[in-house]
Amino acid sequence: MKIHIFKTESEASEFASKIFLDHLNHKKNSVFCFATGRSPIHLYKNFVLNYQKNLTDWSKVVTFNLDEYVGYNGTEKNSYRKFMNDHLFSKININLENTYVPNGIGDLEKNCFDFEKNIINHHGIDVLLLGLGVNGHIGFNEPNTPFSSLTHVVKLHEQSLKDHAKHFFNNNINEVPKEAVTMGIKSIMNAKKIVLLAFGETKTNILQKLIENEVTKKVPASVLQLHPDCHVICDQIAASKLTNTSLYNQLHFYN
Ligand code: GLP
């Protein structure tokens, strides 16, 4: 695991977006997996700016997304499909038919199966983006999710419901859907390269556990220690509780 610590979120996001854009410049039909939440917003802005300067062609790119709320059809204010359309897809020349967001309505078991099949049909994910839940979830893989899990339906933990109510649902926990469809831990770990973003005060404790503690199902993100090409990209605030600095000859400080 490589840990890249930047002074600010915007510098960190620029570095992260470069990983995707460099890949895209070498492979026009790159297969990416994207995340929602607050952490990737700067990164998507960089993609859009880059596209507007005519530097990138997204016409052959295929994207997957990590998760979606159960019961959402993609038009709701907080739907992850809508988030992706608003922040990125409507602003670049991507073919919407090549953008796969888990489907939270209808036959969920079949949706999960089809989602995994689509990943295989596109020969796997080249670069996958992750945010980090304050309880260590990645996608919506809550603590104690088996590391062998593929795309599945999950019940959101109390902590996630509270966080989502606070950040996206005007503090009204009753409005937060109680279930989601998420890529599993195995589906995530199968990606060739992983980029995880973590910014700000609320991520300090969990980032320390992810990087410095043992790999455990209790902290799903800790599994990333086992991935051969995982980049953790964070700001100095999120990194402020890392203690074991002697371990980090791979630590990268920029600026
Ligand atoms: C949600 C999403 C995750 C995301 C996480 C972090 O739980 N399901 O995919 O990574 O939030 O969100 P934020 O970046 O807003 O802290």
Cα 121 to Cα 123: distance, rounded to the nearest angstrom: 5
- Residue 229 annotated as catalytic: no
Residues with CB under 6 A from ligand 1: 35-39, 66-67, 131-133, 139-140, 160, 167
Confidence of residue 253 (pLDDT cuts 50, 70, 90): low
Task: Tell me the CB-side half-sphere exposure of residue 114, using CA atoms within 13 A.
Answer: 12
Catalytic residue among 142, 163, 190, 227: 142
Q: What is the pLDDT of residues 167-219, one digit of tens each?
A: 999 999 999 999 999 999 999 999 999 999 999 999 999 999 999 999 999 99
Report the nearest-CA residue for atom 4 of ligand 1.
Answer: 131
| Ligand 1 center from residue 66 Cα (angstroms) | 10
The predicted model scores a pTM of 0.95
Q: What is the pLDDT of residues 48-97, one digit of tens each?
A: 999 999 889 999 999 999 999 999 999 999 999 999 999 999 999 999 99
Cα 37 to Cα 160: distance, rounded to the nearest angstrom: 12
Confidence of residue 248 (pLDDT cuts 50, 70, 90): low
Q: What is the pLDDT of residue 175?
A: 94
Cα 232 to Cα 199: distance, rounded to the nearest angstrom: 11
| Ligand 1 center from residue 147 Cα (angstroms) | 19
Catalytic residue among 67, 68, 116, 235: 67
Q: What is the pLDDT of residue 238?
A: 96
Mean pLDDT across 92-104 = 97
Would the pLDDT of 140 be above 80? Answer: yes
- Residue 137 annotated as catalytic: yes
Would the pLDDT of 244 be above 90? Answer: no
Q: What is the pLDDT of residues 3-43, one digit of tens each?
A: 999 999 999 999 999 999 999 999 999 999 999 999 999 99
Would the pLDDT of 249 be above 80? Answer: no
Mean pLDDT across 134-148 = 96
Q: Are 102 and 68 in contact (CB under 8 A)?
A: yes
Q: What is the pLDDT of residue 251?
A: 59
- Residue 135 annotated as catalytic: yes
Cα dihedral angle (194, 66, 211, 47), rounded to 10 degrees? 50
- Residue 142 annotated as catalytic: yes
Q: What is the DSSP string of 98-138?
A: GEE----SS-HHHHHHHHHHHHHHTTS-SEEEE---TTS-B
For residue 173 the two structure tokens come to 């926990």
Cα 159 to Cα 166: distance, rounded to the nearest angstrom: 11
